[in-house]
Amino acid sequence: MSISVQPVIMAGGSGTRLWPLSRAGFPKQFLVLAGNSTLFQQAASRLRGLDGGGVAVAAPLIVGNEEHRFMVLDQLREVQIEPAAVVLEPAGRNTAPALTLAALQALEHGADPVLAVISSDQTVTDEAAFRAALQRAVEVAADGAITILGITPDRPETGYGYIRTEAAPGSAALHVAQFVEKPDLETAQRYLAAGGYFWNAGMFVLKASVWMAALERFRPDIAASCRTAWAARSTDQRFVRPGKAEFAAVPSESIDYAVMEKCPGSPFDIRMVALDAGWNDLGAWEAVWQVAPKDADGNAAVGDAIVKDSHNTLVHATSRLVSVVGLTDVIVVETPDAVLVADRERSQEVKQIVNQLGREQRGEHALHRKVHRPWGWYDSIDNGPRHQVKRIMVKPGASLSLQMHHHRAEHWIVVSGTAEVTNGDKVIMLTENQSTYIPLGQTHRLANPGKVPLEIIEVQSGSYLGEDDIVRFEDTYGRK
């Protein structure tokens, strides 16, 4: 009899230490940082080869943020993966409630699969080794143990928590004796020399019922409040939404603090399988530099970059030429609306800048100049006190909401493709180089009836140009 495995991809992180490339509205898991696909796509694709050897793998279950729901579907569609379900958190409550929602979904209809819980924002260079370790962990978890993938350390790292292990004769997995917090350098060097210590990568393999039993023992408040939010859920063809008000009452806690750290010495058998597969969590720009291809002087360059007389430096350019001279151990990241320059060894501190931007309510905290929407994207290429110019792309077959604005009028000029424009009680078709005018207060909609992307230039004018000046009457995507 084969072991039923339900992959769970945790996709709700914010990746603030990779600002300005990663932002709350477009976090790092949806970016291409290594290879040719996004980290989220890599995580989903990595599980494809797990089938076989007595293991039956279901389609992945995604747990993510309501705000990123269409990004999840678009990126899965690009790699031809159909999810089992996409469970949407109404608000961020850390990883323990997120895993609880996944477990409740997996337990529907009387099933009790082994959950293979992986993060969407990590990279692995040896996928065969990853799958082999995950299969061993699945076999151990099928017998009732909580199983963790621990990373074999190759340096005295101070940025990760550690797992202290003990031998388990006759088992494919080690006993977990203790979880330890991020150490100082001297302690990390001692761990490396002693052996038996592994980095905690936040990847867990366990039965759905075992997770719920452990959570109910150690954090019954989280278990009860998650069950209440789950009972109030709504479901459509694409998404599962726990009750919003009920989920807001769920305590925020990580998987480690809520359950894992309490398991050693308890009735819950907790094991670890070593993973040596070129793993990196890309938690800061220093980690991105570590995995990037480098020249003879240790420099890594992405985009239109010129690097001269520099050493161990990362330059990441997205929209223009970036040139550097005479730098050592420096990070330079350029986006259309923000530039970061940082000491490579202090790249973890970028989070302080993000926190300040949040306190000052600056737009660069959450959104790029180019903003993705379920129908396509818009790029704000110019603005002033009473005008804004946007470049807008609408996917084939997609449409914006039927809407109106109280404070602005709009001119639309078609650059390429075909536009179907609803302007009051009229519907017209526009093609390349044709234009139309939307008066202030006029009900309107833009749609792409064609087979190729539609691109237009939108010129807004008025007394207020904020994105919250939108009154929606109809919307394909359920937005209000």
Partner residues linked to 88 by β-bridges: 64
Partner residues linked to 373 by β-bridges: 376
Indicate the average pLDDT of the chain.
94
Does the structure show a pLDDT above 90 at 143?
A: yes
Q: Which two tokens stand for residue 113?
A: 């699969």
- Please say whether the beta carbons of 250 and 215 come within 8 A: no
Q: What's the CA angle centered on 218, arms 215 and 223, to 5 degrees?
A: 40
Q: Which of the four pLDDT bands, split at 50, 70 and 90, describes residue 170? A: low
Which residues have a Cβ under 8 Å from the Cβ of 401 and sit 6 or more positions away? 445, 470, 472, 473, 474, 475, 476, 477, 479
Does the structure show a pLDDT above 80 at 34?
A: no
Q: How far apart are CA 138 and CA 56, in angstroms?
A: 11
Burial group, residue 451, by CB count within 10 angstroms (0-12, 13-18, 19+):
exposed
Specify the domain boundaries for CATH 2.60.120.10 within the chain.
370-474
Q: How far apart are CA 205 and CA 149, in angstroms?
A: 8
Average pLDDT over residues 26-30: 93
Task: Please write the tens of the pLDDT for every residue from 273-287.
Answer: 999 999 998 889 999
Average pLDDT over residues 82-98: 94
Q: How far apart are CA 309 and CA 152, in angstroms?
A: 35
Question: Which residue in the block uniquely carries the two structure tokens 């470049």?
Answer: 391
Q: How far apart are CA 432 and CA 456, in angstroms?
A: 9
Task: Please write the tens of the pLDDT for every residue from 193-209.
Answer: 999 999 999 999 999 99
CB-side exposure of 164: number of CA atoms within 13 Å?
A: 15
- pLDDT given at position 16: 86
Q: Which of the four pLDDT bands, split at 50, 70 and 90, describes residue 167? A: confident
Task: Please write the tens of the pLDDT for every residue from 353-367.
Answer: 999 999 999 989 988
Task: Please write the tens of the pLDDT for every residue from 298-332.
Answer: 999 999 999 999 999 999 999 999 999 999 999 99
Q: How far apart are CA 403 and CA 422, in angstroms?
A: 10
Average pLDDT over residues 392-397: 97
Select from 260, 269, 2 the least CA-distant residue to 113.
2
Q: Which two tokens stand for residue 347?
A: 């790249």
- Please say whether the beta carbons of 442 and 462 come within 8 A: no
Which residues have a Cβ under 8 Å from the Cβ of 269 and sit 6 or more positions away? 144, 145, 146
Average pLDDT over residues 117-129: 92
CATH number of 370-474: 2.60.120.10
Average pLDDT over residues 17-27: 93
CB-side exposure of 13: number of CA atoms within 13 Å?
A: 23
Average pLDDT over residues 131-139: 93
Beta strand pairing call for 408-416 and 454-462: antiparallel
The pTM assigned to this predicted structure is 0.90
Q: How far apart are CA 228 and CA 250, in angstroms?
A: 9
Q: How far apart are CA 223 and CA 236, in angstroms?
A: 24
Specify the domain boundaries for CATH 3.90.550.10 within the chain.
3-275
Q: How far apart are CA 190 and CA 180, in angstroms?
A: 13
Can you point out the beta strands (E) in 246-337? 270-275, 300-302, 305-308, 314-317, 322-325, 330-335
Average pLDDT over residues 229-246: 93
CATH number of 3-275: 3.90.550.10
Task: Please write the tens of the pLDDT for every residue from 40-68.
Answer: 999 999 988 787 778 899 999 999 998 89
